[in-house]
Structure 1
Amino acid sequence: SPSQIGAFVLSKMKETAESYLNTPVKNAVITVPAYFNDSQRQATKDAGQIAGLNVLRVINEPTAAALAYGMDRAEDKVIAVYDLGGGTFDISILEIQKGVFEVKSTNGDTFLGGEDFDNVLVNFLVQEFKREQGIDLTKDQMGMQRLKEAAEKAKIELSSSLQTDINLPYITMDSSGPKHMNMKLSRSKFESLVADLIKKTINPCQKALNDAEIKKSDIGEVLLVGGMTRMPRVQSTVLEIFGKQPYKS
């Protein structure tokens, strides 16, 4: 059942927490997407109990993000939580009044995340290697695994650097001997490759604003969640959507 599968994940998280804290962990607050219904929330709670946890609360992920940013201590305002993670994109509009959070609207794309950015870069590198060496790396399982790891590393590095090197010696071989990959990749080139993916976050944000019946000028803060929001082009897109700099704390 979904609860049993969830319990495996939570058991591992419990072990990790206990190892890090060097103390038993019994209580937990579990976060779920804001669009989860009551049965999905109950299944999540059941998963925690199967994993041996005393589930104190099940709260919305955007609410948890707002708490992490200290928004419960802020003045009354409307906030947007832009969450671009490894596999999904979620946008939530929350209203905070006297420390109480109300989710006004949610939207997103369950098939958009960091993995898609990695795949675009991998495909580009495969094509470049084929153009230079005449070899199709997709037929080499080990080579593709190394390439995927290198693509993710390059993506992360380009959030803080304007250029990175993708250097993979002995990535594959043919009848003439071993082949190496050595390419320079600029941030601007990567941004052009993934521009369409970033654009796919714009429409859900506009829908969330419409559903909440508020204008972008009503948004007091925009909070960023998820590894992909470290990418400068994502941050500038958020600025374009909401007309204000995302909150950094």
Structure 2
Amino acid sequence: MKQMGKVVGIDLGTTFSAIAHVDDDHAQEVIVPNAESARITPSVIMFEDDNSIIVGDVAKQNAVAVPEQIVEFVKREMGKSKEDFFREFDGKAYSAEELSAQILLKLKQDAEAYLNTEITDAVITVPAYFRDAERDATRKAGKIAGLNVLQVLNEPTAAALAYGIDIHGSDQTCFVFDLGGGTFDVTIMKVSGSNLEMIATNGDHRLGGKDWDDKIITYVAQQFEEEHGENPLQDLHAYQDIQKNAISAKVELSRRPRARIVCQYNGKSSRVEVTKEKFEELTADL
């Protein structure tokens, strides 16, 4: 029989999300693996033809095959009205918070299955610069997913607490730099004992790892167009394929001096090499 009332912490990210709890036996925070046994879950949603909704790895893996049924990067749209942003599937329009609720529901259900415990309450982290509209949308998404949102916590504060900055015993001023998959913020915090005071914060909710990916995507498309006279980004399937390869190339460039991407579109193919120097040149303005 399930126990009642587990409280969790959730990182609702632009590209990946995670859920954690405090292990009562060891009094330590632990990330809860999802149904696929992974510690993080892609923040990707797929709407199937039979009206079912799939979130996570399976959705991400099918992004190339059925891009018109995929929703990504919802966090960047949080706080917008349904008139300003929505995605429609099978005649139903979904707002940003309704889409985010699907990600939260996936995290909640997987954690309940893993912990054999009902999850009722949650703390959800958000960028420090999120305004009231974005924070309210996050709370609403939690409510739609069946969660009582105890607090919407600034991500820099959560990072500082996770690092243990509040128990190091010395007063200090620290700088938290948070470059995520789709958002970026920096925060200066004053630490006095166990008290954390946010002195200043700033950020860009449309700057993140995705923008580094986009630079590679655009470069590959330009090289293809120069060779074949066609722009592969006009096709959604080709875009998803280039995006997948661009992300892999970005990771590879962290370990190697160059990466190669094969771009295929409309029966034509180009092999594009991206060196670390070229990548840095492409992304210098970021």
How far residue 83 of structure 1 moved from its aligned partner, in angstroms, is 1.3
Unpaired runs of 5+ residues, structure 1, are 198-249
Point out where structure 2 has 5 or more consecutive residues left out of the alignment: 1-80, 82-95
Higher strand share: 2
Q: 1:67 aligns with which of 143, 161, 165?
A: 161
Greater length-normalized contact order (CA 8 Å, ≥ 6 residues apart) = 1
Q: How many residue pairs end up in the alignment?
A: 191
Aligned to 2:268: 179
Identity, % of aligned pairs?
A: 46
In structure 2, the partner of 1:164 is 259
1:53 aligns with 2:142: no
SS in 1 for 2:119: coil
| Alignment check: 8 A CA contact 1:34 1:103 kept | no
CA distance in 1, matches of 2:224, 2:99: 40
Matched, 1:127 2:127: no
Give 1:16's aligned amino acid: D
Aligned partner of 1:77 in structure 2 is 172
Taking a change above 3 Å as real, the CA distance of residues 80 and 148 of structure 1, as seen in their structure-2 partners, is same
**For residue 229 of structure 1, what is the aligned residue in structure 2?**
none
Q: Distance in 2 between matches of 1:119 and 1:39?
A: 27
What pairs up with 1:8-27 in 2 under 5 angstroms? 8-27=102-121
Distance 1:6 1:165, change over 3 A: closer
Tell me the residue number matched to 2:211: 116
Q: Of Structure 1 and Structure 2, which has the larger fraction of its residues in helix?
A: 1
Give the drift of 1:162: 2.1
Give secondary structure in 2 for the equivalent of 1:24: strand
1:194–1:37: structure 2 CA closer, same or farther, 3 Å change rule? Answer: closer
Secondary structure in structure 2 of the residue aligned to 1:135: coil
What's the counterpart of residue 187 of structure 2?
92
- Deviation (angstroms), 1:38: 6.0
Kindly provide the CA deviation profile for residues 81-100 of structure 1, in whole angstroms up to 9, marking residues without a partner as x.
Answer: 11112222111111111121
Q: TM-score normalised to the size of structure 1? A: 0.66
Q: State the TM-score, normalized to the length of structure 2.
A: 0.58
Q: 2:278 is matched with which residue? A: 189
